[in-house]
Amino acid sequence: MVLEKLGSSLQQTIKKILRLSSVDEAAVKELVRDLQRALLQADVNVNLVLELSQRVQSRALKEEPPPGVSRKEHVVKVVYDELARLLGEKPAKLPVEPGKPNVIMLVGIQGSGKTTTAAKIAYFMAKRGFKAALVCADTYRPGALAQLKQLAAQARVPLYGEEGASDPVAIALRGVEKFRREGYEAIIVDTAGRHKEEKGLIEEMRQIAEAVKPDRVMLVVDGTIGQQAGVQAKAFHEATPLGAIAVAKLDGSAKGGGALSAVAAVGAPIIFIGTGEKVEDLELFDPVRFVGRLLGMGDLKGLLEKVREAEITLPKEKAKAFLTGKMTLEDLLEQMENLRKLGPLGKIFKLIPGLSFQLPEEAIQLTEEKFKVWKAIIQSMTPEERVNPKIMSSSRIKRVARGSGTSEKEVRELLKHFEAFRKMAKSLKRRSLPFKRLERAMGGLGYG
Ligand SMILES: Nc1nc2c(ncn2[C@@H]2O[C@H](COP(=O)(O)OP(=O)(O)O)[C@@H](O)[C@H]2O)c(=O)[nH]1
Ligand SMILES: [Mg+2]
């Protein structure tokens, strides 16, 4: 996993907050201290850490959570927001437009990961249907061409290189022109970068760039150097403000968080992140998704659902009615309100041990609109009809549809789903699943 260490300490921090029954000022302050510790350990710049903690603290304490969102939930969202902000917010765009030759020239100091990243980008583009090719303009390092040859074979893309040549500018130009002529859309140029400091590197970059006129110059920085990656990115960004950045070696590096945040702070767009040695270990950089993953949850939706799951409670009698099939449409309405806050029904039922049954897809994916429609229908029914929906004849259905401003089809659909719920509940009993265990399972869901 990317940034394993940072991820696990951030997850601990979030879990700690989620375990609290309520979030007060002391809890927020402790959260902020935990965040600071986690970020500083990942080599994130002290000033960035201070800025982030101040924002988290003041937002968590001062902002009023929106209706339906608890303070705890809100605090988690604030952390999520601010971490994404630290890494740049906007998702990267593909650096290649279809149907035209896009030349991407990679630069960066030796060992940063250029050659590997060049092959990864070619593979990435080829996999997305672009005609991709590689050009080797590293004439300095012995074995550079052989290395790229091997990687190009793994990526299954053509490579242009010249054995024993000495003029990188001329080779780059010949390679790029050949692939341009042949209609390639993603032409990735690998360069040498034997310079130890940025000045010399940028000078060589200028010469090759002048010759091949790349659409993008992409700096490859080594994520394991932490904050120092920001220094390289800054020099580069000042020289070519349109340039893009790839951060390599983010797998298993404790300092990757520092590298990413430092590069993001420079304002240079991070397009790719490298997460391993193989050609497929490359991702388009999307800060929001990335932070979601760091926090150990798929995305913000998942995160909020989780918090809600932990918070919802349902009275015991209702849970019992639900489990024994002794429920009315009125109960259904009420439970729908509760269940809705838990997220997709299917997910909840999966949590109950020993249980698998089929609910109609629409009942599982209860959307906001559907919920409103069903609510209107149930409210248009008489108390008798709600308790005993079996009496719903076509004339009753017609009346309810008209009264609720819905269609007869929708009324029938609701009745069908209700029946499915009841059957499901009954099947629980038939299978004589230990009721206590079920209750416990429901209790664990906050049905206590
Ligand atoms: N773990 C890991 N290793 C990488 C990654 N990118 C490159 N490397 C390794 O870093 C070393 C230097 O990479 P190379 O592409 O030759 O760097 P260059 O000198 O800039 O061309 C090689 O051993 C690569 O396998 C990455 O994302 N993850
Ligand atoms: Mg190289």
From CA 301, how far away is CA 76, in angstroms rounded? 12
Q: With pLDDT > 90 as the criterion, what percentage of the chain qualifies?
A: 44
**Which pLDDT value is given to residue 314?**
47
Tens-place pLDDT, residues 73-120: 889 889 988 998 999 878 888 888 888 999 999 988 889 999 999 999
Q: Which DSSP state fits 223?
A: G
From CA 246, how far away is CA 248, in angstroms rounded? 6
Would you give the distance in Å from CA 149 to the centre of its chain?
A: 33
Is 80 exceeded by the pLDDT of residue 174? Answer: yes
**Centroid of ligand 1 to alpha carbon of 115 (angstroms):** 7
pLDDT band at 424 (very low <50, low <70, confident <90, very high): low
**Centroid of ligand 1 to alpha carbon of 7 (angstroms):** 23
From CA 416, how far away is CA 326, in angstroms rounded? 16
Tens-place pLDDT, residues 297-306: 544 555 555 4
Query: Which protein residue has the closest C-alpha to ligand 1 atom 17?
Result: 113
Q: What stretches of 278-328 show up as alpha helix (H) in DSSP?
A: 287-294, 300-311, 316-324
Task: List, in order of start, the domains of the chain with CATH numbers.
Answer: 4-89+298-306 (1.20.120.140), 102-285 (3.40.50.300), 312-447 (1.10.260.30)
Structure-token match 């250029």, residue found: 114
**Which pLDDT value is given to residue 445?**
38
Ligand 1-lining residues (CB < 6 angstroms): 108, 110-116, 193, 248-249, 251, 274-277, 281
> pTM score, two decimals?
0.68
By three-state DSSP, how is residue 149 classified?
A: helix
Strands 186-191 and 132-137: parallel
By three-state DSSP, how is residue 383 classified?
A: helix
From CA 12, how far away is CA 83, in angstroms rounded? 15
Tens-place pLDDT, residues 281-319: 999 998 888 888 787 754 455 555 544 554 444 455 555
By three-state DSSP, how is residue 158 classified?
A: coil
- In angstroms, the Cα distances linking 191 to 109, 139, 184, 277, 329 are 10, 8, 19, 19, 69
pLDDT band at 68 (very low <50, low <70, confident <90, very high): low
8 within 8 A of 37, measured Cβ to Cβ: no
Q: Which DSSP state fits 61?
A: H
By three-state DSSP, how is residue 106 classified?
A: strand
